[in-house]
Amino acid sequence: MFGWTGRVLRVNLGEKTWKIEPIRSEDARLFIGARGLGTKYYIDEVDPTVDPLSPENKLIFATGPLTGTLTTSSGRYDVITKGPLTGTIAASNSGGFWGPELKYAGFDMVILEGKAKAPVYIYIYNDMIEIRDARHLWGKDVHSVTDSLLTETDSEAKVACIGPAGENLVKFACIMNEKDRAAGRSGVGAVMGSKNLKAIVVRGTKGIKVADRDAVFQSVAAARKKLKEHPVTSGGLPTFGTNVLVGIINSAGALPTRNFREAIFEGADKVSAETYNEKNLIKNKGCMGCPIGCGRVAKSNGIYVGQGEGPEYESTWSFGPDCGIDDIDAIVKANFICNELGMDTITLGSTIACAMELYEMGVLTENETGYDLHFGNVNAMVKLTEDTAYRRGFGDELAEGSWRLAEKWGHPELSMTVKKQEMPAYDPRALQGMGLEYATSNRGGCHVRGYLTSPEVLGAPEKIDPEDNETKPVWLKAFQDLTAALDSAGMCLFTTFALGAADIAPQLAAVTGVDYTEESFMQAGDRIWNLERLFNMKAGLSKSDDTLPPRLLKDPIPNGPMKGRVNRLDSMLPQYYSLRGWNEEGIPTEEKLIELGLASYL
Amino acid sequence: MFGWTGRVLRVNLGEKTWKIEPIRSEDARLFIGARGLGTKYYIDEVDPTVDPLSPENKLIFATGPLTGTLTTSSGRYDVITKGPLTGTIAASNSGGFWGPELKYAGFDMVILEGKAKAPVYIYIYNDMIEIRDARHLWGKDVHSVTDSLLTETDSEAKVACIGPAGENLVKFACIMNEKDRAAGRSGVGAVMGSKNLKAIVVRGTKGIKVADRDAVFQSVAAARKKLKEHPVTSGGLPTFGTNVLVGIINSAGALPTRNFREAIFEGADKVSAETYNEKNLIKNKGCMGCPIGCGRVAKSNGIYVGQGEGPEYESTWSFGPDCGIDDIDAIVKANFICNELGMDTITLGSTIACAMELYEMGVLTENETGYDLHFGNVNAMVKLTEDTAYRRGFGDELAEGSWRLAEKWGHPELSMTVKKQEMPAYDPRALQGMGLEYATSNRGGCHVRGYLTSPEVLGAPEKIDPEDNETKPVWLKAFQDLTAALDSAGMCLFTTFALGAADIAPQLAAVTGVDYTEESFMQAGDRIWNLERLFNMKAGLSKSDDTLPPRLLKDPIPNGPMKGRVNRLDSMLPQYYSLRGWNEEGIPTEEKLIELGLASYL
């Protein structure tokens, strides 16, 4: 095989055994890799009603055929499991160098089964696999355990690990690699913690064979040229990182503020990319083989002094505008804490925002929270970030996410979630397409499952009206399918500002030797999307879960340029179902599943 | 630095010490690397009158800034020293994977000094350097010592070593890497043997930084496209290897036969690429990152049964037509023996041919040689190949090369050498430009110092008349400079069928970040050429060494399409000197040396 290494490592943590299996090559062709192929393996092996934190659940680390190759921005891998936060399929995507290193060790995927009796870590050095005692590492934060593991193994190894949050089964714990890169959402880190697995350390020194080297060079050179010419991938992202969006989204009247009560933030300038670049940025830092290099090494100042990476725009938003906070150093610090302790910034910030609204309503008081939790309380936000990872005090409630918190206190409508996962930093009342995207995302509230902000606000690949409802189902299906295929190939979503399937499929074909075309690549995305949908159906979800919090459907935006709007999901969902080849209940039709080769899942 | 690792490893074998030095970056810019930069270091450190086989001589393994990068066909390194065969500067070039591996270990060059008290080998694993006992490996052939070393060190390491020929100080012993790749000419393997150094084993796991990744992709994609479109690099070489030339050169009436007595060979069809492909070829085998892949894995059959790699055209010629032999299996077998015992095929075959002529003249008899040495005696040729490496019987005389052999027996005119090194497989009487090339080559008779066969016969980059004398000095200077710069960059000469300085300089600039242009790249070649010339002058060579054997200047070709021709060197040399900016004695002028920044060598 080309692109794929052709090998899967299967580890049984309970029995401390492992074996190497050949990859199922026909599945690889159809589901590509990473998110798609990992999900295919997962669904074929795990009961959809499994308790995510039980030993019966499995956890799959999966790379794509492009991961670690010279193709554009292909440093990605996915972690696939059932999410403890959502109860849906979870596929959390991360960049950096860990995924490439796994390929260089000769593996496309690592499948983890069972639960270790005591904490362990896995050390992979090419074909040498060891399951090692990790009791001395349990409790350590992400940065210190990474340093320890590099000393214990090989200084050039790559470490993916959990922090205290994963150990403590925080429902939105991440898996972190190279210290500050996160497979962030849905609680994949809690699943790793439930298996008593602290880390997977990988060192690989093998190559990846590609099918047609000349075609690789031609297609990659052409793609890099487009990335270099596009203002987002050559200008905005390298210069400002994703934080460039603070000003843009606020100006569009789509910046959720104080738990989505408002849609513009009076302190946006104080937390903008320009402010961050001036006060916090140290330097850029890219993932493997990426010509964009959007990552940021930064510091926080004053009483919130610290150093690390990030935050991304959505993290700036969650700890900032969504909590009514305009202190950039506190926001940067909270993000650092999340990296060090291993938590999803979007869910945590939004959960704190939800608690703040409950507090302002008087439902929660300082008796329960231990802090004055009015919107804008910087200190409480930073303290609770740390408390949550250790489930200290009120942090123990926050560790369950906003849906369980709001439901417990009698106001589930105040949880700004879809399928129990917190929506990021784009108000669906201002951006109709993003509303449909959140409502239909297979892993719940999420912006990277069909990022319609790109056409609705940024004008890539072209500008469309954010208020229009009619064209959004068509746009969304295309974006969802493209993203599913792209994630599965191992390439970064950020390439799609400049590249489309017509640029990516040739790279995939050149690397794998499989004749992926623009059409078959997009169809693979459709197939993966439907497979994820089928899992969720079998896990107990239904049409009623394809919705938004009532606030976004009923309460008009009170201020800013989009004042008065609500999201008109009802006018888009039927058309979306129809385009997808689903019936009125949102269930894939037999005809559709036969077309996609998924009939066996009927 | 980009492209260059910026580090040099210096090993003193006598003292068993080593140190790592930063590279001299200004010299790197001016002399590029590999052949050029290695020669610069060598000349600055070693007395030109040094005895090549004394401990005072040094031996430099040097890579170029492109070596090991993604640029086209950049798997090359050079071994620089004073050649024991020639007494000139020697820079023997080899491909494969050893050079790239040295870069990945973090070194541009290894400088070897002194002489070990007993046999040793050097093991480099990134920054770990060990000088290890090799007494148990002394006497082993190249294949078995390579296998032993991979077992003793790391199965993924790359081994450059000498065979028995190098140990026995055969004047044309090679240094072999990955068993069958040779730094072949001028006796660099004897220098290694004189230092009691059996091998350098390298394992590297670092990367090479490049200055402008986008420009690398663009320039490499463009160059690969040209290589794929050119009939020689996409058709002839991959399909037939260099053996494709047997038929072509024979048809041109330029195939030296029976020690250059004739210029067409009646048995050419029996040793042609077509015959070899049918009887001997197993598969192609390319060097690191090469889209051409001209290397051949082969077998020999019948009583000469064996398996290995090669031969190249010039080896087919030396053991075949030049010895009046048309047995392809015997030729392939002799080549395998040379690889296993570590000897230069061109010099050995030509030396046997010289002995055969002396035998046919009655100067040598079976008393001296131990074999019937009439032209065409297949068995004697194969046996003497092995005897030479071990200096057994008459092999001890052959081990000194044809010049010393012919001179000893009173007929130095029968040694087909320039500067005591045997000329390869192109008759200078048929190809005027190749005659000038041989006569002026800084390392003596050699076809890869300005391969005018390319325009004179193959029509690349355009067809020129092989009989013309007027344009050859201009062509040759350009080819010599281009080749010097190309070798120094670490790229393979074979790219130049399709690529020129305008294609290579952009790759070098993209990798290094130094603004090499077509002009400055060619000037670097001119600089390197003059530096080599200056060394030879200081070593005692003069204009009188810029000549050809009298046979080629006086005795007309007796048969074939070029019947009646001699080489008219005298009509080309003055113009060549003038173009080079040299005086009538062939000495670089002060003005020229100042122009090139070489005034300190006046």
In SS3 terms, B458-527 reads as: HCCCCCCCCCCCCCHHHHHHHHHHHHHHHHHHCCCHHHHHCCCHHHHHHHHHHHHCCCCCHHHHHHHHHH
B205 and A291 within 8 Å at the Cβ level: the answer is no
Which among B467, B437, B465, B462 is positioned nearest to B452, based on CA atoms? B437
Q: How confident is the model over A502-557, as pLDDT tens digits?
A: 999 999 999 999 999 999 999 999 999 999 999 999 999 999 999 999 999 999 99
Q: Which two tokens stand for residue B565?
A: 């021709």
Q: Tokens 């240094």 label which residue?
A: B175
CB contact under 8 A, A221 and B225: no
- Minimal CA separation from B206 to chain A, in Å: 9
Q: Who's near B254: CB < 8 A, 6+ residues apart? A: B263, B426, B427, B430, B431, B434, B457, B466, B562
Question: What are the DSSP calls for B537-584, one per residue?
Answer: HHTT--GGGS---HHHHHS---SSTTTT----GGGTHHHHHHHHTB-T
Scanning the structure block, which residue is given the tokens 């060549």?
B576
Q: Which residues contact B51 (CB under 8 A, 6 or more apart)?
A: B57
Question: Which residues on chain A are in Cβ contact (under 8 Å) with B156?
Answer: 205
Residue A297 to residues A101, A309, B277, B307, B311, Cα–Cα distance (Å): 22, 4, 57, 55, 54
Calculate how close chain B gets to A174, using CA atoms only, in Å. Answer: 30
Of B156, B214, B221, which is closest to A228 when you measure between CB atoms?
Answer: B214
Band (pLDDT 50/70/90 cuts) for residue A602 is confident
Strands, E, within A75-143: which ranges?
Answer: 77-82, 89-94, 109-113, 120-125, 128-133
Q: Token pair for residue B515?
A: 């603004």
Radius of gyration from C-alpha coordinates of chain A: 22
Instruction: Report the pLDDT averaged over residues B564-583.
Output: 98
Q: Prior bond to B473 cis, omega within 30?
A: no
Q: Cα–Cα distances in Å, from A395 out to A180, A511, B152, B401? A: 22, 47, 56, 85
Q: Given this model, what pLDDT does residue B602 score? A: 82
Q: Which of B44, B36, B45, B37 is nearest to B12 (CA)?
A: B45
Using a CB-CB distance cutoff of 8 angstroms, which residues of chain A are in contact with residue B222? 221
Q: Do A224 and B218 touch (CB under 8 A)?
A: yes
Q: Rounded mean pLDDT of B38-56?
A: 98
The pLDDT assigned to B467 comes to 96
Nearest C-alpha neighbor of B441 from the set B574, B532, B567: B532
Amino acid at position B191, single letter:
V
Q: Are A167 and A47 in contact (CB under 8 A)?
A: no
For chain B, what is the mean pLDDT? 97
User: What average pLDDT does this structure show over B93-106?
Assistant: 98
> What residues are paired with B210 via a beta bridge?
none
- pLDDT of residue B159 exceeding 90, the answer is yes
Mutate to test the interface with A, among B156, B217, B233 (most CBs of A within 10 A): B217
Instruction: Name the residue among B214, B224, B228 with its Cβ closest to that of A224.
Output: B214
Interface contact B205-A70, CB threshold 8 A? no
Distances (CA, A) of B583 to B44, B510, B587, B596, B598: 24, 37, 5, 16, 16
Q: Which residue has the tokens 């994630």?
A: A487
- pLDDT of residue B499 exceeding 90, the answer is yes
Supply B103's token pair.
Answer: 């870069």
Question: Nearest residue of B to residue A209 by CA position?
Answer: B289
Out of B205, B214, B291, name the one closest to residue A213 (CB): B291
> Does the beta-carbon distance from A217 to B228 stay under 8 Å?
no
- Other C-beta atoms closer than 10 Å to the C-beta of B515 total 10
User: Cα separations (Å) of A133 from A112, A117, A119, A138, B364?
Assistant: 16, 10, 6, 10, 76
The Cβ of residue B21 has, within 10 Å, a number of other Cβ atoms equal to: 12
Query: Distance of CA A189 to CAs A182, A185, A516, Å?
Result: 10, 9, 33
d(CA B171, CA B53): 10
Q: CA–CA distance from A488 to each of A194, A336, B343, B365, B530 (Å)?
A: 26, 29, 52, 75, 56
Cα A180 to Cα A134, A350, A351: the distances in Å are 21, 20, 22
Cis geometry, peptide bond prior to residue A461 (ω within 30 degrees of 0): yes
Q: Which residue has the tokens 């008081």?
A: A365
Q: How far apart are CA B340 and CA B144, in angstroms?
A: 9
H or E element, residue B110: strand B109-113
Q: What are phi and psi of B193, to 5 degrees?
A: -65, -40
What distance in Å separates the CA atoms of residue A424 and residue A408, rounded to the nearest whole number?
A: 22
Contact residues on chain B for A225, CB-CB shorter than 8 A: 214, 218
Chosen for mutation from A214, A225, A226, A290 (greatest number of chain B CBs closer than 10 Å) is A214
What backbone phi and psi angles, to 5 degrees, belong to B202? Answer: -125, 135
Q: Cβ B221–A225 below 8 Å, yes or no? A: no
What average pLDDT score do residues A73-96 get? 98
ipTM score of the complex? Answer: 0.73
How far apart are the CA of B204 and the nearest CA of chain A, in angstroms?
9
What's chain B's Rg over C-alpha atoms? 22
What confidence tens digit (pLDDT) does each residue in A326-335 have?
Answer: 999 999 999 9
**CA atoms within 13 A of residue B41's CA, in its CB half-sphere:** 35
Residues of chain A with Cβ-Cβ distance to B291 below 8 Å are 213-214
DSSP B382-423: HHHHHHHHTT-TTHHHHTTHHHHHHHHTT-GGGS-EETTEE-
CB atoms within 10 A of CB B569: 21
Q: Which of A214, A221, A222 sits opposite B228 (nearest CB)?
A: A214
Answer whether B291 sits within 8 Å of A221, measured CB to CB. Answer: no
Q: How far is A70 from chain B (nearest CA, A)?
A: 10
**Residues in chain B within 8 Å Cβ distance of A214:** 224-225, 228, 291
Express each pLDDT in A338-396 by its tens digit: 999 999 999 999 999 999 999 999 999 999 999 999 999 999 999 999 999 999 999 99
Q: How many other CB atoms sit within 10 Å of the CB of residue A290?
A: 23
Question: How far is A232 from A61, CA to CA, in rounded Å?
Answer: 30
pLDDT bin (cut points 50, 70, 90) of residue A419 is: very high
Under 8 Å between Cβ of A106 and A94: no
The predicted structure's pLDDT at residue A289: 87
Segment A65-90 shows an average pLDDT of: 97
Q: For residue B225, list chain A residues with Cβ-Cβ distance below 8 A.
A: 214, 218
Nearest Cα of chain B lies from the Cα of A67 at a distance, in angstroms, of: 17
Confidence check: pLDDT of B482 > 90: yes
CB contact under 8 A, A218 and B221: yes
Given a cut of 90, whether residue B500 has pLDDT beyond it is yes
Residues from chain A that touch B70, judged by Cβ atoms under 8 A, are 70, 217
Q: Which chain B residues are closer than 8 Å to A288 by Cβ?
A: none
Nearest by CB to B224, which of A214, A222, A224?
A: A214
Residue % of chain B over a pLDDT of 90: 99
Place of tokens 């499929």: A505
> pLDDT by residue (tens digit) across B217-234?
999 999 999 999 999 999
Letter string b/e over residues A19-43, b meaning 16 or more CB atoms within 10 A of that residue's CB: eeeebeeeebbbbbbbbbbbbbbbb
Q: How far is A72 from chain B (nearest CA, A)?
A: 10
Give the Cα separation of A476 and A489 in Å (integer): 20
CA of A216, closest CA in chain B: separation in Å? 9
Tokens at B313, concatenated: 């055209």
Q: Which residues of B touch A156 (CB under 8 A)?
A: 205
Contacts of A228 in chain B (CB under 8 A): 214
Report the interhelical angle of A501-512 vs A472-489 (nearest 10°).
20
pLDDT at B220: 95
Tell me the residues of B at the A interface, defined by beta carbons under 8 Å apart.
70, 156, 205, 213-214, 217-218, 220-222, 224-225, 228, 291
- Chain B hits for A224, CB-CB cut-off 8 Å, are 213-214, 217-218
Q: Calculate what percentage of chain B has a pLDDT beyond 70.
A: 100
A/B interface, count of CB pairs below 8 Å? 36
Are A310 and A335 contacting, i.e. CB atoms less than 8 angstroms apart?
A: yes
Under an 8 A CB cutoff, do A224 and B205 touch? no
Residues of B in contact with A70 (CB under 8 A): 70, 217
CB contacts, 8 Å: A69 with chain B: none
Identify the band that residue B289 occupies on the pLDDT scale cut at 50, 70 and 90. Answer: confident
Greatest pairwise CA separation for chain A in angstroms: 67
Query: Quick one: pLDDT at residue A186?
Result: 98
Q: Given pLDDT bands bounded at 50, 70 and 90, which one contains residue B245?
A: very high
B214/A220 touch (CB, cutoff 8 Å), yes or no: no
Distance from CA of A5 to the nearest CA of B (A): 18
- Taking an 8 Å cut-off on Cβ atoms, the answer to whether A214 and B220 are in contact is no
Distance from CA of B163 to the nearest CA of A (A): 29
Q: CA B34 to CA B26: how far, in whole Å?
A: 15
- B369 sits in which H/E element: helix B366-369
Reply yes or no on whether the pLDDT at B305 is more than 90.
yes
CA angle B231/B288/A125 to nearest 5° reads 150
- What pLDDT is stored for residue A523 in this prediction? 98
Beta strands across the sheet bearing B77-82: B17-22, B7-12, B109-113, B59-63, B77-82, B89-94
